[in-house]
């Protein structure tokens, strides 16, 4: 199995050491069973993600509004057009 050497501060080392279930459990095993919570979903994160999204120009919005105003339900919804 390939390995990679990493550097961690003493506090991180102690936390890993205390998280071991036994002296024979490796730090790799401790890390693999760790649960890494997903970052919270916030309005700020949504705004940041949508910052690169293109905004529709006014012409497109006007055309969509016009089409939507003319879209009426059928007289008989059970019969095809």
Do 21 and 35 touch, CB atoms closer than 8 A?
no
More confident residue, 5 or 39: 5
Q: Map residue 45 onto helix, strand or coil.
A: helix
Distance CA 76, CA 81 (A): 9
Domain boundaries, the chain: 8-34
Q: DSSP label at 2?
A: -
- pLDDT tens digits for 1-34? 899 999 999 999 999 999 999 999 999 999 999 9
pLDDT band with cut points at 50, 70 and 90 for residue 81: low
Q: What is the pTM for the complete model shown?
A: 0.46
For tokens 């949508």, the residue is 50
């Amino acid at each position: 199995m390939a390995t990679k050497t990493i550097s961690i501060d003493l506090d991180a080392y102690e936390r890993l050491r205390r998280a071991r279930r036994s002296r024979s459990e490796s730090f790799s095993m401790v890390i693999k069973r760790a649960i890494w919570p997903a970052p919270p979903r916030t309005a700020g994160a949504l705004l940041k993600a949508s910052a690169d999204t293109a905004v529709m120009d006014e012409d497109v919005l006007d055309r969509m509004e016009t089409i939507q105003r003319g879209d009426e339900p059928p007289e008989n919804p059970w019969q095809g057009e």
